[in-house]
Structure 1
Amino acid sequence: MISQLIENNDGANLCRHLVSAAKTIPNSLAVAVQQANGKSIAGLGYQEMDFQTLNAKSDELASALICHGLTPGMKAVLMVTPSIDFFSLTFALFKAGIIPILVDPGMGVKNLKQCFIEAKPDAFIGIPKAHIARRLFGWGKPTVKHLINVGGSALVRALTGATSLENLLETSRSRTTEPFKMQWLDKDAMAAILFTSGSTGTPKGVVYSHKMFEAQITALKDDYGIKPGERDLATFPLFSLFGPALGMASIVPDMDASKPITANPDFIFAAIEKYQCSNMFVNPALIERLGQAGEQKSHKLSSIKRVISAGAPATISSIKCFSKMLNDEVEVLNSYGATESLPLSKIGSKALFNTTDITDNGGGICVGKAIDGVDIAIIAIDEQPISSWDESLRLPADTIGEIVVKGPMVSRSYYQRDSATKTAKIKDGSEIRHRMGDLGYLDSDGLLWMCGRKAHRVDADATAANEPQRYYSIPCERIFNTHSDVKRSALVGVKVAGKVTPLVCIELKQSVACSLSNKLYSELRAIAEQHSQTQGIERFLIHPDFPVDIRHNAKIFREKLAVWAQKQIKE
C-alpha cells in the first residue's frame, strides 16, 4: 500500500538513496550524458547534473506529474532515450509512486504492442519518435489517458498530440508551492514493470518491488565492492539508474543502448578518459567490439578498476582480448541472472580462463558461485508447475537439471501472466523460488555451470543406429566451436522419418569458403564421436548468418534456425 511520507520513514522507496546523496554529497557529479556532433570525438559535448540538482529536478517533475492528474499506483510507459530527462523522469516516477513500465525498443513492433496491451498503462511518456510510433501502431490506445512528450521541435511536439514536459512544469509551478513529499510503499508492492527481451519467447512483464531494487543495490555494494564517489561508464539504461542510488556518477556514452554492437568505441573511450571512470557495465557484444578496437589502437583503460558483464555469456576469447586494455589486477566480472532475478552469481575473468578446457570439452560455461544471500538449486527437468518447494527436489552435485534460485532480488510474479507465474514460481514458505528456464549443474565446489536453455535441449528419439539421447545446447555447441573454421554453432531438433533428430547449424568464419562443406562435415562428425555429449549427432548445415538478438548479438534464435533446418531436410 502507498502512504504519504511520515517522520520515521516507514515503507520503502529506492529514491531514499538519491535523497541521502543530495544531502551528503550535493555538489558531486551524479549524471553526465555524452552528446555527439558528427563522427569525430572533437564534436563531443556533455550534459552534467549533480546529486542536489537531480534530486530537486526529480522532485519538481514528480510534483508536476501529480498536478497533471497522475496518481500513485498508476502505470506509465517510459520511452525516453538515455539523457538527463531520462534520469530525472525515472526517479520522479518512483518518488511519486507511479509505476514505470520499461520496455526494450529492440523487441519489435509486434511485441511492443502486446506489452502495452498486457500492462494497460495509464500514461505514455516518450520522445516524439515514440509518440509517432504510438499513434501509428496504436500502442496503449485503450487505456492511456495522459500523454507527455519529451524534447523535439515545437512542430513535432504538436504532431504527437501530447503535452510537452515544459508545459507540464510551467503549469505545476504556477499551482504548487509546497515541497514535494516522496511516496513510500510497502516493500513488496509493485514499484515497476520490466519486460523481458523476448529473445527466447514472448516478452513477459516482471513485477519489481522496492525490496528487489534494494537487494540489487546491496549486491552491487557488498559483492561487487562499488563505493560512493566512483564513476561508472553506463551502457545499459536500467543499470545506469543504480549509479545515483549508489552515490556513483553514471556516465552515459552517445550510443544506441538497444544495439551496442553499433557503438563507436572512440566515443566510449573518450567518456572513460574524460571522467576517469572506475567502473564499467558492458554486455558481450560490446566487450567484443571494444576489445577489437582497443587492440587495433593499443588503447589502455588505466582508470578502470572493475568491469561487469551480464546479459549473455561472453566468449573467453573476447574477454581475453578486452582485458589487454585493463591493468593487470583488474578483472571482468561475469554475472549470471535474468530480468526476473539479477545478479545471482559471478566469476572473475582470471578464474574463468582456467575453465576453458572443461567448456571446450562439453562441460558447460562456468558462471561462478552464488552471491551472498542467494541459494541456487538444481531440479529435475520437467515442464509441469511445482506448487511448493521441498528439499527432496534438489539434485546432487554434477547432475544436469533446471536452475532454481531464491534470494531477495528474485521477483515474485509476472504482470497479468498467471499461467507463466504458476510455471516459473515455486512457493517456499513466505519466499519465492524462480525457475530460470536454464539448464545446468552445480559441481562439488559449488560452482554453477550453464548448459543452455531448457527449451533448447533436444530429446532425440531412438533410431536403428542410436539409442534415445538428450542433447544440451551449450555443451554440444562449444565442442563444435573448437573447429578452426566455425564461428558459432546452434543445436536444433528436426524430424527425420517422423523421429526427432539432432542437427547442428554452422556459421563459418568470414575467411572460410562454403565449398569446404563436405570436408568440414566429415571433420565435425569425427569431433562428435569423440565426446559423449555429442555422440549420435551426424547432421550439419551451413547457415550464412545466424539470427541473433540485437542487444547482445549472442542469443541465437534457435527456433528460427530449427524452422529453416527442417525445410532443408531431405529424408
Structure 2
Amino acid sequence: MTIKTANICQHLSHAAQHSPTDLAVAVQTAQSGTLSYQEIDFNNLNIESDDIAYRLNDFGIQAGMKAVLMVTPSIDFFVLTFALFKAGIIPILVDPGMGVKNLKQCFEEAQPDVFIGIPKANIARRLLGWGKSSVKHNLNVGGSSVQRWLSGAESIDQLPKAQTAKPYSVKLLEHDEIAAILFTSGSTGTPKGVVYSHAMFEAQIQALKLDYGIKPGERDLATFPLFSLFGPALGMASIVPAMDASKPITANPDYLFAAIEKYQCSNMFVNPALLERLGQAGEQTDHKLSSVKRVISAGAPATISSIKRFSQMLSPDVEVLNSYGATESLPISMMPSSALLETTEATDNGKGICVGRPIEGVEIAIIDITEDVISQWDDSLMLPNGKIGEIVVKGPMVSGRYYHRDSATAIAKIADINIDGTTIRHRMGDVGYLDDEGKLWMCGRKAHRVDSDKRYFSIPCERVFNTHQQVKRSALVAIEINGTTVPLLCVELDKGIVCSTSKALYQDLLDIADKHQHTKGIHRFLIHPDFPVDVRHNAKIFREKLSVWAQKQWKE
C-alpha cells in the first residue's frame, strides 16, 4: 500500500513521548587517547530539533529550500538533520570522501539555497566557490570564534532563540515529494543525487524492523552517518564512535570496542573494510563482543575470510547479515553468514556471490544486458532462472529518479504501469542471476564485463583465480590488441606469502583458466603492486584505472 504522507521525524516524536529519558544518541570523542562521551535522550533530541527548526524558519530558511549539510557525526548532526526534516527543508547529504572535484559538481547540480557546515567545510566553501551561485544562507556549526570569522558564515548557535515553546508542527510530505537528496559516493561512477522521499525512509525503517528484527531499546554502534539516523527513528540508541566514517580502514578498533562495551551495543552496522579491520584486531587479542546480537554489513560484498575472522568475536548463534543494495535502493536482499559460508565452494568455482533472497515487498528480475533505455516494463523482459543479465529491482525503498540528471534517470529507471498506477523499477547496473530457489547471485558490475570472443563477467572469473595461494585479489579488465578487445587479468599478490617464480605463477594461472569454461580464453596476466580501491569500502576496485594501466604496460 502506498504511503500518502510521512515524515521520518514522526518516529522521533513517538519515542520522545513513550520513552523520553531513554538514550537516543551517544558520541564518543578521543583526545590524546582518552575517551569521553556526549549523550542526549529522546526527549531532548526532540526538543532541541524543534528549537532549531523554529530558528531556521525565523532566519528565513523555509520548507522546500535545499540545504547542504556538512557536519561531522555529533549531537549537532542529529539535531540539525531532524530539524531540517521537521521543517520540510531538503537536506543534501554528500560524502566528503568523494574528492574536491566531485564535491564541486554535486553543488553545481543540487543548487542548494543553504550551506550548513563546520568551520572547516565553510572555509573550503569560500575558497573553492562551492554553491556560489545559489547559496543564500551560510551557517557555521561549532568551532572557535576565529574559525567562524574565517569561514564568513553565521553561527547557528547565535541565531535568535525561538519565541515559542510549543512543539514544532512536523511537515508531512506526499509520498513522491523530495525529502532529501543523497549523493552516491562515486566509487562506481560519477556521483549522482538520489531523490529520497519520506515514503522511502519509511520503507527502510519497516525493513529494519521486520526483516532485520531491530526493536526499540536496542543500542547500535553506528559507523555510517546515514544509517545512524535510523537509530532514533527505530527507538534505538545510536552510539557514534570516534572514527572517520569516510575512511573506515583508519578506525582505531580499541575505540570501537570500548564504545560497544560501555553501552552494551546489540547491533552493529559495518562495511567490509571495517569488518576486516575489527576482525584482525579481535583475532590478535582474542576479544569478544558478548553484547552484540546482530551485525549488518553493506556497501560491498564482504569476503568469506573477513566474515569468519570477525565471527570469532561473536556468540555462536549471532549472524553477520550481508545486505545487497545501493543508495538508490537499500536494502534489496539479505544473506546470513551461516548460509553464505555454505556457498563458498560455488563462489570459488565461479558461480558468483550469493546475496540471498529479496526482503519483504521487494521484487527482483533479470533482464538482457543492454545499454539502451527501457522506458516501460513488460514481463517478457525477464530472463529465466540461471541466466546472467542485469539486475532490476522493484519495491517501496526504490528511488524514482536522480536530481537534475534526466539522462541518468532514463537509463536507470523503468516505468511499471499497471491497474494500481505506475511504480518504478531500478536497473542496478549489476549483473547476476536468480537460482531455482529464488536466491540472487551477483556477478559484478555491468560495466566491468569484457566482451571478446565470448562474454566474461568480473566476479565469476576473478573468484576462481583468487583461490590461488599467492593471489590476494584479481581484476578482470579489457585491453585492445591489434584492434581487438581481449581479456586480461590484473593480479595483486599476497605480500605475506613467499612467491614462486613468475613463470611458475603464470603457468598456475593458465591452468586455473583452462579448468573452467567461463575463464577459458584468459591467458594474459599482469602483476600490479597495489590495486586502486575506494577509500570507504576498500573493496571496490577501480578497474577503469587498472585497464588504462594494463593497456600501457602491454604496449611497452
Q: Same fold (TM over 0.5)?
A: yes
Aligned length: 550
Q: Which runs of 5+ in 1 are unaligned?
A: 1-8, 461-467
Aligned partner of 2:132 in structure 1 is 141
* C-alpha distance after superposition, 1:67-86 (max 9, x if no partner): 11111000000000000000
1:459 aligns with 2:451: yes
Distance 1:38 1:336 in 2: 38
Aligned counterpart for 1:517 among listed residues 482, 502, 505: 502
Deviation, structure 1 residue 188: 1.3
1:300 aligns with 2:288: yes
Distance 1:53 1:10 in 2: 29
Distance 1:81 1:156 in 2: 16
Helix, strand or coil: the match of 1:569? helix
Distance 1:76 1:486 in 2: 46
1:556 partner amino acid: I
Distance 1:148 1:516 in 2: 60
Distance 2:220 2:553 in 1: 48
Aligned counterpart for 2:441 among listed residues 435, 449, 468: 449
Distance 1:428 1:405 in 2: 11
Aligned counterpart for 1:12 among listed residues 6, 11, 14: 6
Helix, strand or coil: the match of 1:44? strand
Deviation, structure 1 residue 200: 1.2
Helix, strand or coil: the match of 2:455? strand
Distance 2:370 2:172 in 1: 40
Question: Contact 1:79/1:125 (CA < 8 Å) preserved in 2?
Answer: yes
1:223 aligns with 2:211: yes
2:11 partner amino acid: H
Deviation, structure 1 residue 424: 0.3
| Equivalent residues in 2 for 1:98-113, closer than 5 Å | 98-113=89-104
Helix, strand or coil: the match of 2:281? helix
Distance 2:501 2:358 in 1: 44
Distance 1:177 1:335 in 2: 42
| Equivalent residues in 2 for 1:137-536, closer than 5 Å | 137-168=128-159, 171-173=160-162, 175-176=163-164, 179-429=167-417, 430-460=422-452, 468-512=453-497, 516-536=501-521
Deviation, structure 1 residue 402: 0.2
Q: Structure 1 459/532 Cα, relative in aligned 2: closer, same or farther at 3 Å?
A: same
Helix, strand or coil: the match of 2:365? strand
Deviation, structure 1 residue 570: 3.3
1:21 partner amino acid: A
Distance 1:233 1:282 in 2: 9
Distance 2:442 2:121 in 1: 37
Distance 1:209 1:324 in 2: 39
1:38 partner amino acid: S
Aligned partner of 1:76 in structure 2 is 67
Distance 2:129 2:529 in 1: 36
2:426 partner amino acid: H
Distance 2:278 2:352 in 1: 26
Aligned partner of 1:24 in structure 2 is 18
1:116 aligns with 2:107: yes
* C-alpha distance after superposition, 1:456-496 (max 9, x if no partner): 00001xxxxxxx11000000110110000000000000001
Aligned partner of 2:123 in structure 1 is 132
Question: Contact 1:191/1:208 (CA < 8 Å) preserved in 2?
Answer: yes
2:209 partner amino acid: K
Question: Contact 1:67/1:172 (CA < 8 Å) preserved in 2?
Answer: no
Question: Contact 1:75/1:123 (CA < 8 Å) preserved in 2?
Answer: yes
2:457 partner amino acid: Y
1:172 partner amino acid: K
Helix, strand or coil: the match of 2:495? coil
Q: 4+ residue runs of structure 1 moved beyond 6 angstroms?
A: none
Q: What fraction of aligned residue pairs are identical, expressed as a percent? A: 71
Helix, strand or coil: the match of 1:433? strand
Distance 1:513 1:295 in 2: 23
Helix, strand or coil: the match of 2:116? strand
Question: Contact 2:67/2:114 (CA < 8 Å) preserved in 1?
Answer: yes
Helix, strand or coil: the match of 2:179? strand
1:455 partner amino acid: A
1:183 partner amino acid: K
Question: Contact 1:10/1:184 (CA < 8 Å) preserved in 2?
Answer: no
Distance 1:423 1:12 in 2: 29
Deviation, structure 1 residue 10: 7.8
Deviation, structure 1 residue 516: 2.7
Deviation, structure 1 residue 172: 3.2
* C-alpha distance after superposition, 1:33-90 (max 9, x if no partner): 0011123xxx110000000000001000111111111110000000000000000000
Question: Contact 2:47/2:167 (CA < 8 Å) preserved in 1?
Answer: no
Distance 1:449 1:178 in 2: 52
Deviation, structure 1 residue 177: 5.4
Deviation, structure 1 residue 338: 0.1
1:24 partner amino acid: H
How big is the alpha-carbon RMSD for the aligned residues of Structure 1 and Structure 2? Answer: 1.2
Deviation, structure 1 residue 341: 0.2
Question: Contact 2:470/2:499 (CA < 8 Å) preserved in 1?
Answer: no
Distance 1:392 1:190 in 2: 32
Deviation, structure 1 residue 180: 2.3
Helix, strand or coil: the match of 1:36? strand
2:506 partner amino acid: Y
Helix, strand or coil: the match of 2:525? strand
Helix, strand or coil: the match of 2:538? coil
Distance 1:177 1:62 in 2: 12
Q: Structure 1 180/503 Cα, relative in aligned 2: closer, same or farther at 3 Å?
A: same
Deviation, structure 1 residue 291: 0.4
Question: Contact 2:28/2:35 (CA < 8 Å) preserved in 1?
Answer: yes
1:439 partner amino acid: V
Deviation, structure 1 residue 533: 1.3
* C-alpha distance after superposition, 1:337-384 (max 9, x if no partner): 000000000010000000000000000000000000000000000000
Q: Which runs of 5+ in 2 are unaligned?
A: none
Distance 2:503 2:257 in 1: 44
2:201 partner amino acid: F
1:83 partner amino acid: S
Q: Structure 1 564/515 Cα, relative in aligned 2: closer, same or farther at 3 Å?
A: farther
Deviation, structure 1 residue 176: 4.7
1:12 partner amino acid: A
1:306 partner amino acid: R
Question: Contact 1:25/1:51 (CA < 8 Å) preserved in 2?
Answer: yes
Helix, strand or coil: the match of 2:296? strand
Q: Structure 1 277/337 Cα, relative in aligned 2: closer, same or farther at 3 Å?
A: same
Deviation, structure 1 residue 517: 2.2
Distance 2:445 2:297 in 1: 19
Distance 1:38 1:515 in 2: 45
Deviation, structure 1 residue 514: 6.9
1:389 partner amino acid: W
Q: Structure 1 276/364 Cα, relative in aligned 2: closer, same or farther at 3 Å?
A: same
